[in-house]
Structure 1
Amino acid sequence: MQIRTSLSTIGLALLLASLSLPLAIAAEAVPKGRAALFDDDEPAATPAEAGSREALFGEDLPARPSAAEPPRSRDSLFGGDDLQSSAVAAAGTPAIASPPVVKGFVQNRMAYTWPKPSHWSEMMNHFDLSAQGSLSSNVKWKLGARVDYDAVYSLTDFYPQSVENDQRFNFLLRENYLDIGADNWDFRFGRQQIVWGEMVGLFFGDVVSAKDVRHFVLPEFEILRIPQWAARAEYFKDDFHAEFLWIPLASYDNIGKPGAEFFAYTPPPPPGFQTFFLNERFPSSSLSNTNYGLRLSILRDGWDVAAFAYSSMSAAPTFYRQVINNPQPTVVYEARHKRIDQFGSTLAKDFGSVVLKAEAVYTRGRGFELSNFGNLNDNDGVVEQNVLAWVVGVDYNEIADTRINVQLFQQHIFDRNPDIIPESNENGYSLLVNHKFGDKVEAQALWIASLNRSDWMLRPRVSWNFEKNWRAALGVDIFHGPPLGYFGRYDDKDRVYTELRYSF
């Protein structure tokens, strides 16, 4: 594949086209132990979760895990973020209300897509601002919001008007919650990130988070994840942790509009048929449509093991269909969300230079679109299937300034309907290689591929921390595979991109 010579001037053109808003973010603090496992402030990889998307797409890579005392409360688990001085707490002096700590970032991402046809596909500017503080030693708060502006929809006319209206400008509430501590219990009320699992590149145990997938799975987790309005209670006792969750008003995946760069959720219709999309149908606000779950974890002899059960209106939609023959043959789709039940487990263990991590999730009642249009009288073109997805990953950190991550994963469909696209066993693997050249330059490449067919994604990237709080990056996203493959459906969406980010 060739990139037009005009791309040699990407940096300058991109900045001018996007209202000159270059940006960067400082690397997050490196997690040092189990404390990072449940960091729901800005979720980062835990020691055994060294394969986070932040590490994957530009954030600093986590250091090798180190031993840690088991958490006894949210203060011990999130001490740095909860803004309470450990020295004051150790002295037994009651904490008083603290002034708010304000932080945020500004980021600019410019992407040029080729080859069919070549076009600017992203001129995104993110403005993220948050403040957090405490009202007393037991009551803490956080407020946050983000504004997104994509200038590609103002400066080009490549996309339909509905896509421009949906993606040009967005205001998003981020984490906005109140924390209350009481002995071994901690309670969090409000809009919050809830991370129950995190692997490299793809989602498995992270079942609670909604996601903004209008740019596929390419953004960092902090950009991609959508917080939930939730009430959460956590109990800490020695090396045991219990988490009770209720989401009265759920957030759902943002899939965008037909005609957007990464909108490809349905199989192509038969020859002679056109397609039409109704507005997405969201569940009504009722007690029967709320989400709830329980997660239990224990840290024993270096093994961090957790199990969870979660019942929810699915964050990802399923496309139901109708076939209309008048005035011309048309397949009408409507995205809907139905209830699913999920049961899963995660584990992590540090073996010195090697970190083992695994996740497994059983989903009952997941909807799959039928790919076979032979029966056009089918009621809705959807069947329910029970699915087991699992992944095993190994992180190797023995080589100086180098990290190698390998993962093997599978999706197994029980009693598979022959008219759906996925096979009974969909197998795949991933490889991530990252190397730091001193303190400022970092290069990495991620490869994710199917073992069932030629379907893969390659993401090489170089980042440069040229000043304090500033980072620049250059990367390429390449997709290949059949039209119905997970990556192949975006075979004509290969792109080169730049990022500038500033944090404060």
Structure 2
Amino acid sequence: MDELFDLTEEKKEEGEPGSIDELFETERATVDEPRRWPDLNGFFQSEVAYTYASPDHWSKFRNLLELGTHGRLSGNLKWKASGRLMYDAIYDLTDFYPESVRHDQRFEPMIRETYLDYSAGDWDFRVGRQHIVWGEMVGLFFADVVSAKDLRQFVLPDFDLLRIPQWAMRAEYFKGDFHGEAIWIPYMTYNDIGKVGSEFFPFDPPPTPGFNTVIKNVQRPNNTLGNTAYGLRLSYLHSGWDTSLFYYSGLDLSPAFARNVVLAPDPTITYRPVHKRIHQVGSTLAKDFGPFVLKGEAVYTVDQPFLVTRFNDSDGLVSQDVLDYIVGLDFSFVEDTRLNLQFFQRWFSHHDRDMIPDELESGVSALVSTRYFHPKVEPEVLLIHSLNRADWNVQAKVTWEFLRNWRMVVGADIFGGPPTGLFGQFDAKDRVYGEFRYSF
């Protein structure tokens, strides 16, 4: 199941704030308020990882600095600007990875959320690079179809590191318990899957006897009017039920790999990544029942391309209509102990027998965390498992907030399953890691 997994809980401030003032945690300026420099906030994080599965190697020594600020130009006009610098020293300290991977992941500047906000009565408008979060499931991507993700570390990083904002124009309407949202993305940002040979490159087809295999790196589609994305989302809160309906159309955020077979002079199979337009209709719901919170999401995708194994197909891709849905229960216990259980399925309405996935794919996930032992120490374990095959992933970590604004994390990520499985393809990528983070 492509890109279903996001391994940390979404944060409300990156979703749908109740108002622009809540987002920035400020009050409206008064005429006699003295001018001052905008506040600077952000974090510095250092991460190290060691892959102990064969061949064992150091796989990450990444350092990130993110800075942001915000302010007001007038009573109804606000702004926010933020950016991030990333340097991974592992690509200077070792030569384990190909040069293309080292060049791609050694150093990277990035514009993060940077936009203008304008409020007019019941309407809010936002223009710029922004997070657009439509999904609300814990640890999984289903209805969250708009925002791009940095998948060069698979789906293992925290939420704020995984998500990439989009350059978008957004209009929102608030009236009582109703919320409407329309978006247009003129300049698309796509999922970053890295370069061929990177630690978690998501495509590694089995070799075909007698043929050479060539996998080309991703080339982004041209920024044309025909490649823009757009969507509409309507939500309503009634009797404690928070429900929404949405429609979204855009080029698929992750590429499919089209196949080309050449028999002479050297038999070669070449895979070329392509982004094709898909259309998605979906719904979300949430209800607090006291002892637990019920959440659910469903998305029906039209014309999503999937690879088939037969050689007589022109490009090795077939378009499929796919229904993805998930139901979850979130329990909170005493002493800050939490249990989240989720069941999800993917159904292909016109399944092609030469596809690798089954017509109906099912899976479960379980997340447990607690601060029972110490208020500043939180162990957490997440298990995601396919019900169709022995394809699974375990993420275990302990977070220690040892000082104000400081935290340390140690953990392990373990994969298992067949080489064609979502997790089994990384069976040799089991790793242990550590992180330090200072927020300000």
Give the structure-2-normalised TM-score: 0.94
Q: Identify the residue that residue 472 of structure 1 maps to in structure 2.
A: 408
Structure 2 CA distance for aligned equivalents of residues 216 and 480 of structure 1: 15
Structure 2 CA distance for aligned equivalents of residues 136 and 98 of structure 1: 14
Instruction: Say if 2:186 and 2:228, in contact at 8 Å, map to a contact too.
Output: yes
Q: Identify the residue that residue 492 of structure 1 maps to in structure 2.
A: 428
Instruction: Say if 1:98 and 1:135, in contact at 8 Å, map to a contact too.
Output: no
Q: Identify the residue that residue 358 of structure 2 maps to in structure 1.
A: 423
Q: Identify the residue that residue 246 of structure 1 maps to in structure 2.
A: 184
Q: Identify the residue that residue 209 of structure 1 maps to in structure 2.
A: 147
Q: Identify the residue that residue 5 of structure 1 maps to in structure 2.
A: none
Q: Identify the residue that residue 66 of structure 1 maps to in structure 2.
A: none
Q: Identify the residue that residue 346 of structure 1 maps to in structure 2.
A: 284
Equivalent residue letter for 1:439: P
Q: Deviations over 1:210-236 (max 9, x none)?
A: 111011000111111111110000000
Structure 2 CA distance for aligned equivalents of residues 95 and 300 of structure 1: 40
SS of 1:100's partner is coil
Instruction: Say if 1:149 and 1:168, in contact at 8 Å, map to a contact too.
Output: yes
Structure 2 CA distance for aligned equivalents of residues 451 and 133 of structure 1: 49
Structure 2 CA distance for aligned equivalents of residues 355 and 479 of structure 1: 29
Query: For residues 239-318 of structure 1, what are the structure 2 equivalents within 5 Å?
Result: 239-318=177-256
Q: Identify the residue that residue 29 of structure 1 maps to in structure 2.
A: none
Instruction: Say if 1:368 and 1:384, in contact at 8 Å, map to a contact too.
Output: yes
Q: Identify the residue that residue 81 of structure 1 maps to in structure 2.
A: 23
Structure 1 CA distance for aligned equivalents of residues 34 and 119 of structure 2: 14
* Deviation, structure 1 residue 264: 3.0
Instruction: Say if 2:127 and 2:169, in contact at 8 Å, map to a contact too.
Output: yes
Equivalent residue letter for 1:398: F
Q: Which has the higher strand share?
A: 2
Q: 1:406 aligns with which of 335, 341, 344?
A: 341
Query: For residues 382-393 of structure 1, what are the structure 2 equivalents within 5 Å?
Result: 382-393=317-328
Structure 2 CA distance for aligned equivalents of residues 98 and 319 of structure 1: 52
Instruction: Say if 1:96 and 1:136, in contact at 8 Å, map to a contact too.
Output: no
Point out where structure 1 has 5 or more consecutive residues left out of the alignment: 1-50, 63-72
Structure 1 CA distance for aligned equivalents of residues 211 and 32 of structure 2: 70
Structure 1 CA distance for aligned equivalents of residues 6 and 303 of structure 2: 28
Point out where structure 2 has 5 or more consecutive residues left out of the alignment: none
Structure 2 CA distance for aligned equivalents of residues 453 and 138 of structure 1: 54
Q: Deviations over 1:55-92 (max 9, x none)?
A: 49xx9xx9xxxxxxxxxx96x5343433432xx68xx9
* Deviation, structure 1 residue 202: 2.3
Structure 2 CA distance for aligned equivalents of residues 383 and 392 of structure 1: 28
Instruction: Say if 1:52 and 1:198, in contact at 8 Å, map to a contact too.
Output: no
Equivalent residue letter for 1:414: S
Q: 1:222 aligns with which of 142, 160, 163?
A: 160
Structure 1 CA distance for aligned equivalents of residues 155 and 184 of structure 2: 26
- Taking every aligned residue pair, what percent have the same amino acid on both sides? 52
Distance 1:246 1:262, change over 3 A: same
Instruction: Say if 1:273 and 1:331, in contact at 8 Å, map to a contact too.
Output: yes
Equivalent residue letter for 1:442: E
| Aligned alpha-carbon RMSD (Å) | 2.0
Q: Identify the residue that residue 392 of structure 2 maps to in structure 1.
A: 456
* Deviation, structure 1 residue 96: 8.3
SS of 2:222's partner is coil
Structure 1 CA distance for aligned equivalents of residues 300 and 32 of structure 2: 45
**1:381 to 2:345 alignment:** no
SS of 1:81's partner is helix
Q: Identify the residue that residue 132 of structure 2 maps to in structure 1.
A: 194
* Deviation, structure 1 residue 52: 7.8
Structure 2 CA distance for aligned equivalents of residues 96 and 214 of structure 1: 45
Query: For residues 56-135 of structure 1, what are the structure 2 equivalents within 5 Å?
Result: 76-85=18-27, 99-135=37-73
SS of 1:216's partner is strand
Structure 1 CA distance for aligned equivalents of residues 96 and 400 of structure 2: 32
* Deviation, structure 1 residue 286: 1.7
Structure 1 CA distance for aligned equivalents of residues 255 and 156 of structure 2: 19
Q: Deviations over 1:160-198 (max 9, x none)?
A: 111101111111110110000101100000010000003
Instruction: Say if 2:193 and 2:202, in contact at 8 Å, map to a contact too.
Output: no
* Deviation, structure 1 residue 268: 1.6
* Deviation, structure 1 residue 97: 6.7
Q: Identify the residue that residue 123 of structure 2 maps to in structure 1.
A: 185
* Deviation, structure 1 residue 199: 1.9
SS of 2:304's partner is strand
Number of residue pairs the alignment of both structures matches: 432
Equivalent residue letter for 2:237: L
